[in-house]
A and B are shown apart, each in its own frame.
Chain A
C-alpha cells in the first residue's frame, strides 16, 4: 500500500520535475533563477517524499523512530542539491553540463537518502554493505547525468519521456540498492512495534504535502505556458496578418508560396497563383481621403474572400495589391473562372459612407508546376501577366505566357532609356505654326516634344509620354519643354503666342504654376503670349484640384486652351466650370470634313459654342484646301496642320516667322 503511494509520488514527481527542469534550461536571465527555485523545491520534495513514504513502508521487524532534525536536513539537502545540479546543467558544453549537473542531482538524491537513513532509528543492530552503497551512488550519478543529457538534446514540443523515465530509474535504483546495503538485526527482547497505523497516517500526510507542492509546480508551469503560447500566437498572428484587412500579409504569402514550391519538388499538388491589382484605387484614396480608402480596402478584402474557394489563400501584399494562391488547381479553365469572379466582384461599385467608388481590378495568373516550379520564377511570371492585363486596358485577367517576357523586356529597356534621356536632356522642342485666317498670317506656334535617342533615333511622344507619365518623368520633361518653348518664343516677333502641352500628371502635381512662373521669368516672355494646353482627361480625375491648378496659372496672366475637344466625356460642362480661353477641335473631326456630315456638324457646333462662350477656337490637322475653306467659313479663326507647315525645329521656325508673312502661298 505505502509502496504504491511512494511509486505514484515518484512518477508524478519526476514527470513534473522534468517539465520544470526543461523550463529552467530554456529560461534566460532572472526568470531562470525563479524556475530553478520552483523546480528544485518540487523535485526535492517529491524525491524526499518518495523516500520517506518508502521508509515508512519498510518493515525491518524492529521498532522504529525518526530523528526530526536529520529528517529535515535531508529535505533541505534534496532541494539545494537539485538546485545546484540544475544550475550546473545549464553549462554550455554538452558532456560537462550533463555530467556535472545530472551527477550533482544524482548525488543530491543519494545524500538525501543516506542522511534520511541516519534519521531512521531502528532498535536493532544496523549494518552497511559498502559495495551496495558504492553501486547506489554510481547508479544515481549515471542515471541522473543521462536524464539531464536526454533533456538537453530534447528539441521538440512533446514531453521528454526518456528523461522522465531515467529520473525515475535514478530514484528507484538508489532507493532499492541503497536499502540492500542496509541491514538490521533485531535484538532479542524487543518486540516489533505496532506503529504501522501511525505510519500510514504520516505517510499520507507527507504524500499529500509533497503532491501539493508538485501540483503547485505543474500548475504554475501550465499557467505560464498558456500565457506564453497565447502571446506567441498573438505575435505570430500580428506578424503574418495585415492589420487593416485581417488578411494574411506578404510575409505569410511568401512563406506559403515557398512551402508549396518545396512540396512541388517532391511531387506535391499543383496550384494557381493569381495577382490582383486594383485599377483606380489611388485617385480614390487621394480625392476621398485615406479613411475612406481604408474602408474600401476592407470591403475589397471581404469581396475577395467571397470570390475565392474556401481553402484558397488571399493575402494583401501591397497597398492595393493582393495575391491568391489556389491549391490543387492545374486546369486553366478553373483558374480563369476564379479570375473572372475576382474581376467581376471588384468591378461592382463600393457604396460606403454615402459615397460611391468605382474601382475594378486586373488579375495576372500563373500555374505551377506547368509554368514554373520555384517561388521566384512564379512571382515574376505572375507580375508579367498582371502587367499585361493592365496594359490591355485593365478590368481583365491575363495568363502568363513566355512571349510576354519579351514584350516586358522591351518595355523595361524603353523605361531605362527614357530615364537616361531625362538626365542627358535628349529632348528637343519642335514647333508647329498656327495660322490666323483673319489676317492670313502666323499667329504663333504649338510646342511639341521629340526625343532624339542615340539608340532609337527619333521617338514619337505618342510612344514615350505614357511611359514617362507612369514613371513620373513627365514633370521633368514638361518643365524642360516649357522653359525652352518660352525662351524661343521670346525671340519671335511681338504678339506671337506659344502653346505648350501639359500632362494631367504635371497638372495634378501641384507645382504647375511655379514651373510656369519660372519659365516666364527666365525667358522674359510676356505671360499673355503663353498658352497652356490641357486635355479633358486631366479635368475628370479630380476637378477640385484641377480647378485650383488652372486658376493659379491663369492668375499669372497665362491663357488656357482645351486640347482634343469633343473626344472625351460630357465636354460641355467643363467649359462652364473651368477658366478656359480656347478650345481646339480634334484633328479626327477636321480630317472628315467636309464630306462626313457627322464630323461637319460637330465642327460647326464647336465653332458656335466657342463664339457663344467667347472662346477662341483652333482647328487642328488641316491637310487640304477643302478642309481649310470649310473650317474657315464656319468661324474657326486659328488653324494648324500639314497644309501650312509640319512641325519644324526652332531655327526653321524663326526663319518662317521672320520672312514668311507676305509670301505664303496658302489662301
Chain B
C-alpha cells in the first residue's frame, strides 16, 4: 500500500508568536487524536517561529486534513515543499510527533535548525532528518 506524503512549512501568526511553543504542543496533541481517527501519521516541528510538518496517509485523508490546515489562521506564509507518493510510511509510530525547539536538548536544537534550512532546499533529506531525530529521541527516553 503506497501512501501520500505531504511536507510544508509556515510561520506562526504574529498575534500568537509570544506563545508559539505552547500552541505548537497543543496543535500536535490535538492533531494526534484527530489523525489516529483518520489513519494519518507524521510529525510537526516548531523552530524559530516556523512550523515544519510531515503528513502521511491515504490521499483523501491527507488532502482533507491539509485543506483544514490551510484554513487555519494561527499560521501564515504557508509553503508546500513536497507532495509525493511513497512506498510506505516513515512515521508509522506517530499520529503526530512533536519536535518543539523549546523542548529539545542543545544537540537536537542544532539538528532542528538544520532541518529548517534543508526544508526548502532538499525536502526529502529534511524529512529523513526529522525521522532520525525522532528515533534518537525515543532511544533517549528508553535509556533514561
Contact = CB atoms under 8 A, between A and B. Distances in A.
A341 B73 contact: yes
Contacts of A350: 67, 70
B4 A348 contact: no
A426 interface: no
Nearest to A306: B71
Contacts, number: 39
Interface string B67-91: 1001101001011100101000000
A326 to B, nearest CB: 16
Contact of B71 (A303, A347, A349, A351): A303
Contact of B67 (A299, A341, A347): A299
A352 B63 contact: yes
A239 interface: no
B59 interface: yes
A344 B76 contact: yes
Nearest to B71: A306
A303 B67 CA distance: 9
Contacts of B8: 349
A349 B59 contact: no
Nearest to B85: A354
A347 B76 CA distance: 10
Given A356-B80, A356-B83, A351 B66 contact: yes
A302 interface: yes
A345 interface: yes
B95 to A, nearest CB: 20
B78 A349 contact: yes
Interface in A337-384: 341, 344-345, 347-354, 356
B96 interface: no
Interface in B86-132: none
A303 B76 contact: no
A638 B113 CA distance: 49
Interface residues of B, number: 17
A345 B83 contact: no
A341 B63 CA distance: 21
Interface residues of A, number: 17
Given A306-B71, A354-B59, A348 B78 contact: yes
B6 interface: yes
A351 B73 CA distance: 18
Given A354-B4, A356-B80, A356-B83, A349 B70 contact: yes
A404 B22 CA distance: 45
Interface in B33-80: 59, 62-63, 66-67, 70-71, 73, 76, 78-80
B11 to A, nearest CB: 11
A349 B80 contact: yes
Contact of A345 (B59, B62, B71): B71
Contacts of B78: 347-349
Contacts of A344: 73, 76
Contacts of A341: 73
Contacts of A352: 63
Contacts of B6: 351
B71 A302 contact: yes
A124 B83 CA distance: 104
14 contacts: A302-B67, A307-B73, A341-B73, A344-B76, A348-B78, A349-B78, A349-B80, A351-B6, A351-B62, A351-B63, A351-B66, A351-B80, A351-B83, A353-B59
Interface of B: 4, 6, 8, 59, 62-63, 66-67, 70-71, 73, 76, 78-80, 83, 85
Which 3 pairs, one residue from A and one from B, show the smallest C-beta to C-beta distance? A306-B71, A349-B80, A348-B70
Given A306-B71, A306-B73, A352-B63, 13 more contacts: A302-B67, A303-B71, A344-B76, A345-B71, A349-B70, A349-B80, A351-B66, A351-B80, A353-B59, A354-B59, A354-B85, A356-B80, A356-B83
